[in-house]
Chains A and B, each alone.
Chain A
């Protein structure tokens, strides 16, 4: 319904489920993903015609095409409104997820429909990651409202993220190779004391390394299982620990 004096971005509710600014954002993201997919396919064709290896260009193009499909799927979801928001903004801060990209349920809108918000920074790869989660929610593969996900859903989202630039770096540690007491700074050993000091300063303990992804096939369940971050698990004033981000997922 159109009414006088309404700002342009607040009108035109037509059941396609991005509204206002998000409609434009989604369209732009869809266009960018499609364009880059075409570009990568063209590059792969060129290399193949010269008899050279195409590497993972086709897989990356496939993921970017899927990202465009994610947006189409969200648009087609009549029961949920999808939004993009800044992960460093006020809204994210109020939800206690400031600085962390996340796709979460943020209540209902005026029509009584669920609202799923994708919190990201301006990084395109990160946007594609959360867009994949939005797409997964619209297809019923995950549930962003009650935060039900799976390792394979995360593998897919990291593949989408990687596909934009063809590189990805992340902090990892294989839990089975370390003494948890030592790594979390909970015992009296020298290593443990050192790690407690580092964690209290917000730094990674000494066992954490950076893993460089240079091919899409390296994004596996084990890579996702080993991803870590330092945090207090949302407990205000709580001490920092090394957290395996996807430990609870199967």
Chain B
């Protein structure tokens, strides 16, 4: 019984630890007049809300790359790769990236479009 209790407490810690690491993060942006909310529920999946109507589920992974920039300095980039069911015919590009950090306050899409963490 004592051992069982010990394991339960241990599991609780692990569970708490996981939920702390994978806190969902929400980013908001606007593309061609459409409000787009991207909710990363955990480290693998999330969903997008387009104009708060259409909910599009996705899986994702963050790809880490070291690349040369114009000044020939190596920079680390994090590119968000999405996997989406073909039923959702997207009419906006999904090209989120971050430079030098992961899960920051702003996700880049292109030079004029950003998604801001809420």
Contact = CB atoms under 8 A, between A and B. Distances in A.
Contacts of B77: 194, 197-198
Given A179-B110, A191-B95, A194-B99, A218 B87 contact: yes
- Chain B interface mostly helix, strand, loop or mixed? strand
A207 B110 CA distance: 9
Contacts of A200: 67-68
Interface string B82-106: 1111110111111111010000000
B5 interface: no
Q: How large is the interface on A (under 10, 10 to 19, 20 to 34, 35 or more residues)?
A: 35 or more
B95 A206 contact: yes
Contacts, number: 90
A88 interface: no
Contact of B67 (A169, A173, A194): A194
A191 B108 contact: yes
Interface stretch (A26-34, A105-113, A182-190, A233-241): A182-190
Nearest to B69: A193
Contact of B83 (A189, A197, A209): A209
Contacts of B67: 194, 197-198, 200-201
Nearest to B86: A218
Given A177-B90, A179-B110, A194-B77, A207 B95 contact: yes
A210 B79 CA distance: 13
A190 B111 contact: yes
B70 A212 contact: no
A147 interface: no
Interface residues of B, number: 30
Contact of B81 (A194, A209, A219): A209
A213 interface: yes
B85 A212 contact: yes
B65 A198 contact: yes
A119 B80 CA distance: 33
A222 interface: yes
Q: For B89, B91, B99, which residue has the most chain A Cβ atoms within 10 angstroms?
A: B89
Interface string A109-123: 000000000000000
Contacts of B108: 190-191
Given A197-B65, A197-B67, A218-B86, 16 more contacts: A177-B91, A191-B108, A191-B109, A191-B110, A193-B69, A197-B68, A197-B69, A198-B79, A203-B79, A205-B95, A207-B94, A209-B81, A209-B83, A209-B90, A210-B83, A211-B84
Interface of B: 63, 65, 67-70, 77, 79-87, 89-97, 99, 108-111
24 contacts: A174-B91, A179-B110, A189-B110, A190-B108, A191-B109, A191-B110, A193-B69, A194-B99, A197-B65, A197-B67, A197-B77, A201-B65, A201-B67, A203-B65, A204-B81, A207-B93, A209-B82, A210-B82, A211-B83, A212-B85, A213-B86, A219-B86, A222-B89, A223-B86
| Shortest Cβ-Cβ A-B pairs, 9 listed | A197-B67, A207-B95, A218-B86, A206-B95, A210-B83, A189-B111, A191-B110, A209-B82, A177-B93
